[in-house]
Amino acid sequence: MEQSEPFYHDLKQLRVAQGITLEDISAHTRINTRFLEALEQGDFTILPKTYIRLFLRSYCQEIGSDFVEVAKQLEEFMGEPPEESLSVQEELTAATVTAKPADVSRLGGRAPARLRQDFVTGSAIFLFLVLIIIFARRAYQEPLSAEPAPIVSVADDTPLSRPGVVPPARLAETPPAARRPATVSRQVVPVESSIELPDRLFSEDRIIENLQERVRLTPPVRLTLMARDNVVIQPVSGGRIGAAFNLTVAEARQWTIQEELILRTTHINLLRGDLNGVPINFGEATGLGTLRVSPTGVYEVSAYLPQ
What pLDDT, in 10s, does the model give residues 7-32? 899 999 999 999 999 999 999 999 99
**175 and 269 in one domain?**
yes
**200 and 298 in one domain?**
yes
**209 and 196 in one domain?**
yes
Q: What is the chain's Cα-based Rg?
A: 23
Q: Which amino acid is at 38?
A: A
Residue 221 CA to residue 207 CA, distance in Å, equals: 26
**111 and 77 in one domain?**
no
Instruction: Report if residue 206 sits inside a domain.
Output: yes
**94 and 21 in one domain?**
yes
Per-residue pLDDT at 278: 93
**58 and 184 in one domain?**
no
Q: What is the pLDDT of residues 199-251, one digit of tens each?
A: 888 888 889 888 888 888 888 999 998 998 889 999 999 888 988 989 888 78
| Burial degree of 102 (CB within 10 A; 0-12, 13-18, 19+) | exposed
The C-alpha angle with vertex 138 and arms to 133 and 139, in degrees rounded to 5, equals 95
Strand spans (E) along the chain: 207-214, 221-227, 231-237, 240-241, 245-247, 253-257, 261-265, 271-275, 278-279, 289-293, 298-304
**120 and 23 in one domain?**
no
pTM of the model: 0.40
Per-residue pLDDT at 142: 46
More confident: 302 or 140: 302
Question: How many structural domains is the chain composed of?
Answer: 3
List the domain range (segments joined by +) for residue 205: 168-304
Side-chain-facing half-sphere of 188: CA atoms under 13 Å: 15
- Are 203 and 165 in contact by the 8 Å Cβ rule? The answer is yes
**286 and 209 in one domain?**
yes
